[in-house]
Structure 1
Amino acid sequence: MKKSFLVLFSFLMFACNSNSSNEVILPENEEIPLTKEEEIIKIYNESVLPLFKEYSDTEIPTQFKIDKNDLGINAGAAFGYVEVSQGLVNLTKEDIQLFALTHEVAHIVTIKQARLFDLQGSIPKGTVTNDYKKAEYLADLIAIHLIKTKQNKEFNLLTSNFPFLLDLLGATTFTHPSGSDRINCINTYLENTLVTSNEIALKNTFLNIWQME
């Protein structure tokens, strides 16, 4: 009986040791690395959404979609969801991802922000700058303002990457200003913050874009 028990015990010990050799044991407190998709969703949930808390009466997108077939760096937002390209997901610069996502959500709150500045109606068309281009300038402005005032570390990293962002934004089209024009507009706001408050600089730059010819 004792001999049988010892043989069985030895077999069980061998089986346990064999199984455990195939297991990956993580050190205590070590987190499982996130996938690129999980990382950008985390940026959206933990960094972008909190920026828009002051727009509580506006429906901010909470659903996240990824277009795996789009390898360009693109993003868009609508009421209910935000969609990004696989190219943006693959980008290694988190500050650029943050700006792109914040810019898209900023489109949704642009009219709300305009009303806060006592501007009524939709974005007006200028004789030189159409309303599509004005919308891009305004979304850039809201995005950079929110990041500057609420995420200083990311803001400093983003400004150091302005040359990369300029190239990324590309040339002018019917609906989008050129990257250089957009960066210049952002820099106008930033220069204004040096001589006045962030909020006044936001308002003055917003009004100037709204009234562009």
Structure 2
Amino acid sequence: MKKFMYFILFLVFFTCSKDSKENKAEVNEDQETCILDKEDKLKQLYNATVIPLFSAYTDIDIPVEFHVREDEMGIDAGASFGYVEVSMGLINVSEESIQLFALTHEVAHIATLSQARLFNLDGYVSSGPETNEYIKSEYLADLIAIHLIKSKEPVYFESLTKNFQKLINILGGGTFTHPSGVNRIKAMQTYITLSNTQTEADAFKTLYLKIWEDNM
């Protein structure tokens, strides 16, 4: 009987222990499956939520291909005409609202000039006395993203605002091409405040024009 009990305990340990040398291959398979699950979830978020956010921008080509930079563990993303690219760091972010914002922001870059034309703004984003064209483009993409999320995905919007401090840390300090996380969140909060006293569409247009004309 004792030998039988020892055998049962051995089986339980062998099955459950992730530190077992004999079980390492299975653990690695589990980890790979987990990563694939995260990739699939992010792709699903992009296809089911991000793409529909831009339904009003009928004159732009929304990227449909999804590329993963498996060697990049920083939190990063990018979009070009035809594909969106994400880092493993973004895939591993636990807050879905932050993932949504990052992806929406990148597609918003593609929609920036289309949106400008809708507001009867001619030409391209240009440098002003206070802000260069790169930083202005980041503010405009942030504005499009937060506006679309607030107006179309209120549950994600509420979660995102609760994660602003984490987003500040992710966005980091300012560079020649990117405003600091603090200033980016400040600009988005300006939109949120305006949208509480007027319609979201009016708040969006007001702030878009201010950024375009370098009156932030």
- Normalising by structure 2, we get a TM-score of 0.82
How many residues are treated as equivalent by the alignment? Answer: 182
Residue in 2 that maps onto 1:197: 199
| Residue 66 of structure 2 is aligned to residue 60 of structure 1 | no
Aligned residues of 2:59 and 2:114 also touching (Cα < 8 A): no
What is the alpha-carbon distance in structure 2 between the residues aligned to residue 145 and residue 128 of structure 1? 24
Residue-by-residue CA offset, 1:48-106 (whole Å, 9 max, x unaligned): 00000111121110000000000000000000000000110111111000000000000
Residue in 1 that maps onto 2:76: 74
State the superposition RMSD in angstroms.
Answer: 1.3
What is the alpha-carbon distance in structure 2 between the residues aligned to residue 135 and residue 94 of structure 1? 24
Residue in 1 that maps onto 2:188: 186
- Normalising by structure 1, we get a TM-score of 0.83
Which residue of 77, 80, 92 maps to 2:94? Answer: 92
Residue-by-residue CA offset, 1:173-207 (whole Å, 9 max, x unaligned): 00000011100100111110011100000000000
What is the alpha-carbon distance in structure 2 between the residues aligned to residue 37 and residue 195 of structure 1? 39
More helix per residue: 1 or 2?
2
Pairwise CA distance, 1:127: 2.1
Bigger Cα Rg: 1
Amino acid at match of 1:133: I
Residue in 2 that maps onto 1:109: 111
What is the alpha-carbon distance in structure 2 between the residues aligned to residue 35 and residue 194 of structure 1? 38
Amino acid at match of 2:178: H
Residue in 1 that maps onto 2:85: 83
Amino acid at match of 1:52: F
What is the alpha-carbon distance in structure 1 between the residues aligned to residue 162 and residue 198 of structure 2? 22
What is the alpha-carbon distance in structure 2 between the residues aligned to residue 187 and residue 89 of structure 1? 26
Residue in 2 that maps onto 1:51: 53
Which residue of 146, 154, 172 maps to 2:148? Answer: 146
Residue in 1 that maps onto 2:137: 135
What is the alpha-carbon distance in structure 2 between the residues aligned to residue 109 and residue 58 of structure 1? 7
Residue in 2 that maps onto 1:119: 121
Q: Which runs of 4+ in 1 moved over 4 A?
A: none
What is the alpha-carbon distance in structure 1 between the residues aligned to residue 92 and residue 147 of structure 2? 26
SS at match of 1:60: coil
What is the alpha-carbon distance in structure 1 between the residues aligned to residue 65 and residue 105 of structure 2? 16
Amino acid at match of 1:59: D
What is the alpha-carbon distance in structure 2 between the residues aligned to residue 176 and residue 197 of structure 1? 28
Residue-by-residue CA offset, 1:103-157 (whole Å, 9 max, x unaligned): 0000000000000001000002112210000000000000000000000101000
